[in-house]
Structure 1
Amino acid sequence: MHITIVTIFPEFFDSALSCGLLGQARERGLVSFSFVNPRDFAFDRHRSVDDRPYGGGPGMVMTLPPLKRAMQSIETPGQIVAMTPRGKPFCQSMAESLSHQRALTLVCGRYEGYDERFTSLFPVEETSVGDMVLNGGETAALAVIEATTRLIPGFMGHADSGSEESFAAGLLEYPHYTRPEEFEELVVPEVLLSGDHAAIAAWRRKKSLETTLARRPDLFDQVDMDRADMQYLASIMRQRMGRNLYLCLVHGPVRNKYGQDAVVSLTNLDLHDIARVSRTYGLGGFSVVTPLEDQKKLAATLLSHWTSGPGGQRNPDRAEALSLVSVHDRIEDAMHAVKAKTGQAPIVFATSATAEKTVSLRCVQHTLTTSPILLLFGTGHGLTEDTLEFTTGCLRPIRPFDVYNHLSVRAAAAITVDRLLGDVG
C-alpha cells in the first residue's frame, strides 16, 4: 500500500512513521509514504495556503488554488480521505475497507478547515476520529494510518493478532494478563491458568460482552450474537437493573379505609419478607418511611436484633437481607439516601391498585438500565394523592382487570419485583 499525505507539516510524521511495527513494515516494503505540501504550490512569496473566511468570523480557511494543485500533482491518489470533525466517524470496519486499497491519500486540514468547494472538485470521503477539536488533521491521520496498515497481511507478527482485538468482532476486547502470576496481592484469574482452552475462550467472550455493555453498548447494534451471548447479556442487565432498584415501604402518610391521611404501624413480617425479596433479587436497598418516633425505635430494635444481635448470629442469611433496610422520616429522605449511594437522584415510581395514570413494566425496566429508581409501596389503603403527585408515574395494578385488588404489600412487592427482574424460562 502507498499512502500520500497532504499536509503543510510533513515533519510531523517523521518519528511516528519510522518506529515500531510501522517502521518495520516500511522497511519490508509492505507500506510506503509520500508527502505533498500545499505550500509548495502557492505562488506568493509567503507561500500562503489560507485566507479570511467570507461572511466574517474567527480563524482562517485553507484556500483552493494551492490545495487543488497539490492534489493534481498526485499521480495515483487512490481513495481520498479528508480529516475533519464533521466527517463520518472512523471505525474498525472503515479501517478494514481502507486496508484493501493499493493507494490512499489522506488530506490533513488546518485552521478552520478547507474551502467547502474542495469536496466538489475531488471525490473526498470525510472522516472524524472523535468528537473533539485538534490543531489539525495530522494527529487524526496518524490514527487512520495505524488502524489501517496493521490490517495489511504480514504487518503483525502473529496472524491472529488482528482478529482478536477490540472492534475486530464488533466488541471491545477482553482483559489481558501476564507474568507475574501475583503482584501486590492482585492475582491473575484462575481460568487463565487452567490450560482449558474452551473455558478460556468462553471467559474471554463473556468479558468482551461485559466490557462492551459497560462502556460502549452502542456497538451491539453491529454485532452478531448467538443465543448464549444474548442470555448472558440478559443476566448482566438483570443484575444491573436490580442494583438500580430501591424499594420504599411508606407507612405515612397513607390513606385509611375512610380515604383520610393516616400513619399505620410497621410490622415485623413486612420488614423481613420485603428485605428477603430485595436480597434475593440483588436490589440496591429497601427503605421504610414512618414519621412516628416509636415506630422508628421499633424498627431499630428489630433490625439490630437481626443484623448485629443474637438473631443475626443464629441466622446470617436473614442478617444479610435485613442489612439492606434503612428507616427514614420522609420519602424525600429516602430519595436523598439513594442519591448519596449512587450519585444520581432516583426517579420515583409508585404502585397503586387504583391509580388512573399508569406506566408499563417495560417503561420502568428501560429506566432501570440507566438510572436508579425508588419504587414506592403504600401500606394501609394505599398512597395519598399528594404522594402520587410527585412521582413519575404508577405501575399498572398487578390484576388490572380484576375487581379484587387486595394483595398484602409483601405479596405485591414480591410479584412486582419478579415481573421487573425475574428470570424467564
Structure 2
Amino acid sequence: MLFNILTIFPEFFDSFLSCGLMAKAVEAGVVEVARVNPRDYAQDRHHTVDDRPYGGGPGMVMGLPTLVAALRGLERPGKLLMLSPAGRPLTQRLAGELAGEGALTLLCGRYEGIDARIFDLFDIVPVSVGDFVLSGGESAACCLMEAVARLVPGFMGKDASAEEESFASGLLEYPHYTRPEVFEGLAVPAELLSGHHAAIAAWRRRRSLETTLARRPDLFDATPLSNDDSTHLRGVARVRPGRNMHIGLVHGPVVLKDGKVGTVSLTNLDVHDIARVSRTYGLGGFEVVTPLRDQLALAARIVDHWREGPGLAANPDRAEALSLVRLHEGLDAALAAVSADHGRPAALLATSARGPATMSFAAARELIASRPVLVALGTGHGLADAVLDRADGILPPLRPFSDYNHLSVRAAAGILTDRLLGDAL
C-alpha cells in the first residue's frame, strides 16, 4: 500500500512514521509513504503556495498551480482523497474499501482551504474524520492512514486481532482484562476465567452489545442482529431518557381550517395510536388536552373501555398503552401534571409544520435527557400562536424542505418521537 501525502509540512509525519506498528510496516515494506511538498513546485523565490481569497474575507487560500503540478508529478497517484470536514465520514467500512486500493493520495489543506476548482480538475473524494475543525489536514491524514493500514495484510502481528476490534463487526468491542486476577478488590469477570470457550464468546458478545447500546446505539441501524442479540438487548436494564418526555395532544387552542383559532374534536384513532407510540418508546405519559367537557367524557369512555372494561380482557397490550393517557382541560393543567410527576417544572416544546423553528432536534434531545419535557402536538391545522409563543422551544418541521406538510397528527407523533428518542439517532 502506497500513501502519497501532499503537505506543506512533511516533517509533521516524522514521529508518526517512526514508532509503533506503522514504523514496522514501513520497514517491512507493507506500507510505503511518499511525502510531497507543493512548495517544491512553486516558481517564485518565496515558494508561495497560497493567496488572498476572491470576494474578500480573512485568511488565505491554497492555490492551484503548485498543487496541480504536484499531483500531476505523481507516478502512482491511485485514489485521490482530501481531508475535509465537509467530506464523507471516515468509518471502518470506508477504511476497508480504501485498504483494497494499491495507492492513495492524501491532500492536506491549510489556511482557509484549497481553491475549489481542484475538484473540476481531478476526481477527488473529500473525507472527514469528525465534526470539528483542525488547523490542517495532517492530523486527519494520520488517522486515515492508520485506520486503512491496519487492514492491509501483514500490518498486524496477528490479523485476527483486527477482526475483533471495535467496528469490525459493526459494534463496539467488549472490555478486556489481564493479570492480576483481583486488583484493589476488583475481580476479572468469572466467565473469562472459566476456560469454556463458548461461554467466553457469549459473554464477549453480550458485553459488546451492551457497550454499543449504552454509548453508540446509532450503530445498530447498520448492524444485523440475531434473535439472541435482540432478546438480550430487550432484557438489559437501561435508564431511558424517554421517561422525561410526555406527548401532549392539544385539541384547543389550535388553528382551524378557515384560519381561525378554536377547538377540534378528538378521534379514537389518535388516542389509541399515540398511546401505543408512547408505550413503545417508554414515555412518561400521554397528555390529551381539550377544553370541551363532552370530549373529555368521550375520551374517558374510550380509555376506560380498554383499561378496565371489556377491552382489557380482549387486548391487555392495548390496556398497557392506554394506561399512559391522562385527560386535561387545558395545557396549564397538563404541564402541572407533568411537573408534579417529576418534582420540578417541565419545559414545553411545541411543534409546527409552518416553522420557523427555535430549537434543533439535537438541542431537544439534550433537554429531554436533563429535565421533564412536554412535547405538544396540535390537531386541526396546528397549534395556535398563543401556544407557540409561550413554548420554551419550537421544533423544526419534520420535512422542512417539502412543499407538502400535511401528516396526520398520529403519524407525526411517531416520527417525532423516534427522532427524539430512537435508538438509531
- Report the residue type matching 1:99 in the other structure: A
Deviation, structure 1 residue 195: 0.8
Pick from 264, 270, 284 the counterpart of residue 373 of structure 1. Answer: 284
CA distance, structure 1, for counterparts of residue 139 and residue 242 of structure 2: 44
Deviation, structure 1 residue 395: 12
CA distance, structure 2, for counterparts of residue 120 and residue 399 of structure 1: 67
Aligned residue in 1 for 2:303: 397
Aligned residue in 2 for 1:293: none
Matches within 5 A, 1:225-374: 225-236=225-236, 239-240=237-238, 346-347=245-246, 356=267, 358=271, 359-365=273-279, 367-368=281-282, 373-374=284-285
Aligned residue in 2 for 1:43: 43
Q: Is the 8 A contact 1:83 1:140 kept in 2?
A: yes
Aligned residue in 2 for 1:124: 124
Q: Secondary structure at the match of 1:17?
A: helix
**Structure 1: which 5+ runs fail to align?**
247-344, 378-382, 421-425
- Report the residue type matching 1:364 in the other structure: S
Deviation, structure 1 residue 233: 2.2
Aligned residue in 1 for 2:381: none
Q: Deviations over 1:191-220 (max 9, x none)?
A: 111111101111111111111122212211
Deviation, structure 1 residue 69: 0.4
CA distance, structure 2, for counterparts of residue 396 and residue 201 of structure 1: 50
When normalised by structure 2's length, the TM-score is 0.63
- Report the residue type matching 1:106 in the other structure: L
Q: 1:4 to 1:403 in 2, by over 3 A?
A: closer
CA distance, structure 2, for counterparts of residue 103 and residue 404 of structure 1: 71
How many residues are treated as equivalent by the alignment?
Answer: 301
- Report the residue type matching 2:274 in the other structure: S
Tell me if 1:416 matches 2:416.
no
Q: Is the 8 A contact 1:86 1:127 kept in 2?
A: yes
Q: 1:35 to 1:406 in 2, by over 3 A?
A: closer
Q: Is the 8 A contact 2:278 2:285 kept in 1?
A: no
Q: Secondary structure at the match of 2:17?
A: coil
CA distance, structure 1, for counterparts of residue 90 and residue 214 of structure 2: 21
Once the two structures are overlaid, the 10-residue window that deviates more, 221-230 or 185-194, is: 221-230
When normalised by structure 1's length, the TM-score is 0.63
Q: Is the 8 A contact 1:107 1:137 kept in 2?
A: yes
- Report the residue type matching 2:320 in the other structure: T
Q: CA RMSD in A?
A: 3.6
Aligned residue in 1 for 2:19: 19
Q: Secondary structure at the match of 1:161?
A: helix
Q: Is the 8 A contact 1:349 1:394 kept in 2?
A: no
Q: 1:53 to 1:160 in 2, by over 3 A?
A: same
CA distance, structure 1, for counterparts of residue 91 and residue 152 of structure 2: 16
Q: 1:365 to 1:86 in 2, by over 3 A?
A: farther
Q: Is the 8 A contact 2:278 2:321 kept in 1?
A: no
Matches within 5 A, 1:167-246: 167-236=167-236, 239-240=237-238
Q: 1:404 to 1:355 in 2, by over 3 A?
A: farther
Deviation, structure 1 residue 130: 0.3
- Report the residue type matching 1:373 in the other structure: G
CA distance, structure 2, for counterparts of residue 403 and residue 199 of structure 1: 46
Q: Is the 8 A contact 1:360 1:396 kept in 2?
A: no
Deviation, structure 1 residue 153: 1.1
**Structure 2: which 5+ runs fail to align?**
250-264, 325-425
CA distance, structure 2, for counterparts of residue 214 and residue 3 of structure 1: 36
Deviation, structure 1 residue 360: 2.3
Q: Is the 8 A contact 2:275 2:322 kept in 1?
A: no
Q: Is the 8 A contact 1:84 1:126 kept in 2?
A: yes
CA distance, structure 2, for counterparts of residue 26 and residue 232 of structure 1: 43
Q: Secondary structure at the match of 1:165?
A: coil
Runs of 4+ in 1 over 6 A off after TM superposition: 393-396, 417-420
CA distance, structure 2, for counterparts of residue 112 and residue 81 of structure 1: 18
Q: 1:45 to 1:156 in 2, by over 3 A?
A: same
CA distance, structure 2, for counterparts of residue 396 and residue 117 of structure 1: 64
From the CA coordinates, give the structure whose radius of gyration is larger: 1
Q: Is the 8 A contact 2:2 2:33 kept in 1?
A: yes
